[in-house]
Structure 1
Amino acid sequence: MDFSLFYFADGSDDPSRGRYRLLLDGARFADTHGFAAVWTPERHFHPFGAPYPNPSVTGAAVAAVTERIGVRAGSVVAPLHHPLRIAEEWAVVDNLSNGRAGISLASGWNAVDFALRPEGYPERKQAVLDTVDALRTLWRGEPLPVVDGAGNPAEVRAFPRPVQPELPVWVTSAGGPQTFEAAGRAGAGVLTHLLGQDFDQLAEKIAVYREALAARPGHDGRPGHVVLMLHSFLGEDPEQVRETVREPFTQYLKSSFRLIARSATSLLQGFDVDKLRESDVDFLVRRSFDTYYDSSGLFGTVEQASAVVERARAAGVDELACLIDFGIPDETVLAGLEHLDRLRQRSAG
């Protein structure tokens, strides 16, 4: 089981604290302690995830302060960008890191984000798969057919040339089995989480992914790569860890609640999240905290978290992306990385 760090902070904190200190210091720790990668997302127009509007920018910063770990986007929202821009930006990151760049592509889940490119919203799921193909073409130095500003057909190549001959690519899934299958057919990895699915359901989807991957024409027999994001904080005393986590993580869940629920209203006819009372939201968030803490995160002691690692391993997960920046003070999080590293060593041995 590989371990990596994942960042997705709520941006409503005080910027005087040094908003990117935890990202850079955590990356330095991961780089020198055997972690596999650092992931940063793409988010827009809301405090939830606000420090991360462009993962190529934060990825370039991580590349500049590290020497070994993978520098990955978790995720680039493919329908918001032309594949040429993605290829250009991440070729820069690949050069800055001497060949450590990797990208997970997502379809996007919040309609307001598409203010950047409204025409990308209707076919956003297909855009992910189209972007996988286009990125691979550009990364290899092959031309991409385009229409220029005068309306004429042309071919272009992306520059600078990257270091890696092939770009490591994942597809981000919120849990839909069709996305797992599509990732397999595309020969990509999968980046996912436990919001809306448990380990048993995840295992079934990973099996679908690997079956589709094995059936891909020309497949080389490798089993693919599945990354599971889990919120993480470990310590020596389980009760102290729970109390350290409770308030910041509850507020973090509350920050995301209305945004995520509003994005899901198309599936819930007659439900209006904005009409929920504050006491109702607080109740739902408290229940969510208990679920996350007990079974859907790496919380407590190394021994307690080991059971979650083994459940992930049994489900077919290859890498745990540990989300660490959900509101606990930076110094406390950085100190807790020593325990996370102990878990990584224990899981490897």
Structure 2
Amino acid sequence: MDFGLFYFADDVRAGTDQYRLLLEGARFADTHGFSAVWTPERHFHEFGGRYPNPAVSAAAVAAVTERVAIRAGSVVAPLHHPVRIAEEWAMVDNLSGGRVGVSFAPGWHVVDFALRPENYAGRRQVTTDTIDTVRRLWRQEEVELVDGAGESVKLRAYPAPVQPELPTWLTSSGNPEAFRQAGDLGYGILTHLLGQSLDDLVRKVADYREHYARAHSGTGHVALMLHTFIGEDRARVREIVHQPFTDYLRSSLGLVLKAAEDLMPGIDPDSMDPEDIEFLLEVSFDRYFDTGGLFGTVDDGMAVLSSLQEIGVDEVACLIDFVPDTDTVLDGLRHLDELKRRWSTR
């Protein structure tokens, strides 16, 4: 398995420190053999709000790195014109010497669609159509569009990218149909464990591999986002991550409730007492610390990685920016690097 860094947390870093972790973490990844740096797209909310445009953050990462892949995790396709996506990422591909990749998502938060409200209802089909158009533009094909005079014109996007094909993933929070679609279309799959268990993931990855092999050569690529903090002492790690990760879960409560349906079926966050919400968050924290994240010591991490290898995960996208103290997170990267090296030489 490869190890990448993934950024998508609350807006907890104030002032000029907001992007220090992104850039210094990217430099660390670049010089220590990590596979990729992933940044998301998020609007109108503190949760992920530091990253409204992954092409902009990708350009910043390109300027301070030389080797590591630079990926969107994700571009919310229905919020953009496909030409703009192709233009922006082709530019970053040139800036980086051909290191970009894009995971596309249909979007999940209705408020984000204040940018393109007409696309919300049909966002999944819009995503499929957008990916197809972006990939054609990436190959320097002409696409037919309508200009300001209402005339049909054939246009090609500039600049030409370095890579002849755009490395492409489809983002899914666990929808089995998305896994099958990614396999059929020859895309990678980017997923996470907020809303699905490892047992669920086993079946979906197997389904993805089957559909991929049926339509294409190779086996595809499965990237799994995991919240990550590795240290020297498990109890100390738990102490460091407990409050910030609980706050992270609180800010994404809708996904937590979906994940907890087996425990509390049919629950509605608006009707829950504050005490019930806190209980649910504590239960969720315990679950993710023990089985849904990459937390603890290097030895703890090795056990988690063994289970992920059995599932068929190709890359662990380590989400690191939920802990607010930048120096603490950067110091923890050396333990994550030790885990990566031990895994590669086991």
TM-score normalised to structure 1 length: 0.94
Alpha-carbon distance in 1 for matches of 2:210, 2:326: 42
Q: Shift of the alpha carbon at 1:303?
A: 0.4
Alpha-carbon distance in 1 for matches of 2:230, 2:324: 12
Partner of 1:224: 220
Q: In structure 2, do the counterparts of structure 1 residues 126 and 33 end up closer, same or farther at CA, with 3 Å as the change threshold?
A: same
Q: Shift of the alpha carbon at 1:197?
A: 1.6
Q: In structure 2, do the counterparts of structure 1 residues 124 and 304 end up closer, same or farther at CA, with 3 Å as the change threshold?
A: same
One-letter amino acid of the structure 1 residue matched with residue 245 of structure 2: F
Q: Deviations over 1:91-112 (max 9, x none)?
A: 1110110100100000100111
Q: Shift of the alpha carbon at 1:315?
A: 0.4
Q: Deviations over 1:48-71 (max 9, x none)?
A: 111010000101000100000000
Alpha-carbon distance in 2 for matches of 1:347, 1:125: 37
Alpha-carbon distance in 1 for matches of 2:187, 2:221: 8
Whether the 8 Å CA contact 1:190–1:227 is kept in 2: the answer is yes
Whether the 8 Å CA contact 2:189–2:223 is kept in 1: the answer is yes
Q: Is the partner of 2:252 in helix, strand or coil?
A: helix
Alpha-carbon distance in 1 for matches of 2:254, 2:105: 21
Whether the 8 Å CA contact 2:194–2:256 is kept in 1: the answer is no
Matches within 5 A, 1:44-63: 44-63=43-62
Of 56-65 and 129-138, deviating more is: 129-138
5+ residue gaps, structure 1, are none
1:317 to 313, 317, 323: 313
Q: Deviations over 1:9-65 (max 9, x none)?
A: 201x35236100000000000000000000000001111111010000101000100
One-letter amino acid of the structure 2 residue matched with residue 100 of structure 1: R
Q: Shift of the alpha carbon at 1:241?
A: 0.8
Q: Deviations over 1:160-189 (max 9, x none)?
A: 111111110000011111000000111100
State the percentage of identical aligned residues.
60
Partner of 2:196: 197
Matches within 5 A, 1:63-102: 63-102=62-101
Partner of 1:171: 170
1:240 to 232, 236, 241: 236
Whether the 8 Å CA contact 2:103–2:170 is kept in 1: the answer is yes
Q: In structure 2, do the counterparts of structure 1 residues 282 and 271 end up closer, same or farther at CA, with 3 Å as the change threshold?
A: closer
1:126 equivalent in alignment to 2:125: yes
Whether the 8 Å CA contact 1:244–1:328 is kept in 2: the answer is no
Partner of 2:2: 2
Q: Is the partner of 1:163 in helix, strand or coil?
A: coil
Alpha-carbon distance in 1 for matches of 2:13, 2:21: 13
Of 201-210 and 165-174, deviating more is: 201-210
1:331 equivalent in alignment to 2:327: yes
Matches within 5 A, 1:109-124: 109-124=108-123
1:285 equivalent in alignment to 2:281: yes
Q: In structure 2, do the counterparts of structure 1 residues 273 and 91 end up closer, same or farther at CA, with 3 Å as the change threshold?
A: same
Whether the 8 Å CA contact 1:245–1:328 is kept in 2: the answer is no
1:250 equivalent in alignment to 2:246: yes
Partner of 1:340: 336
Q: CA RMSD in A?
A: 1.9
5+ residue gaps, structure 2, are none
Alpha-carbon distance in 2 for matches of 1:270, 1:281: 14
Whether the 8 Å CA contact 2:256–2:284 is kept in 1: the answer is no
Q: Shift of the alpha carbon at 1:252?
A: 1.4
Q: Shift of the alpha carbon at 1:299?
A: 0.4
Whether the 8 Å CA contact 1:258–1:274 is kept in 2: the answer is no
Alpha-carbon distance in 2 for matches of 1:270, 1:325: 31
Alpha-carbon distance in 1 for matches of 2:294, 2:324: 14
Whether the 8 Å CA contact 1:252–1:327 is kept in 2: the answer is no
Q: In structure 2, do the counterparts of structure 1 residues 259 and 345 end up closer, same or farther at CA, with 3 Å as the change threshold?
A: closer
Alpha-carbon distance in 1 for matches of 2:301, 2:256: 27
Q: Shift of the alpha carbon at 1:258?
A: 5.0
Alpha-carbon distance in 2 for matches of 1:328, 1:27: 17
1:181 equivalent in alignment to 2:180: yes
Partner of 2:136: 137
Q: Shift of the alpha carbon at 1:282?
A: 1.2
One-letter amino acid of the structure 2 residue matched with residue 89 of structure 1: E
Aligned length: 342
Whether the 8 Å CA contact 2:13–2:324 is kept in 1: the answer is no
Partner of 2:153: 154
Alpha-carbon distance in 2 for matches of 1:231, 1:269: 25
Q: In structure 2, do the counterparts of structure 1 residues 269 and 111 end up closer, same or farther at CA, with 3 Å as the change threshold?
A: farther
Whether the 8 Å CA contact 1:170–1:191 is kept in 2: the answer is yes
2:298 to 293, 296, 302: 302
Whether the 8 Å CA contact 2:195–2:256 is kept in 1: the answer is no
Q: Is the partner of 1:303 in helix, strand or coil?
A: helix
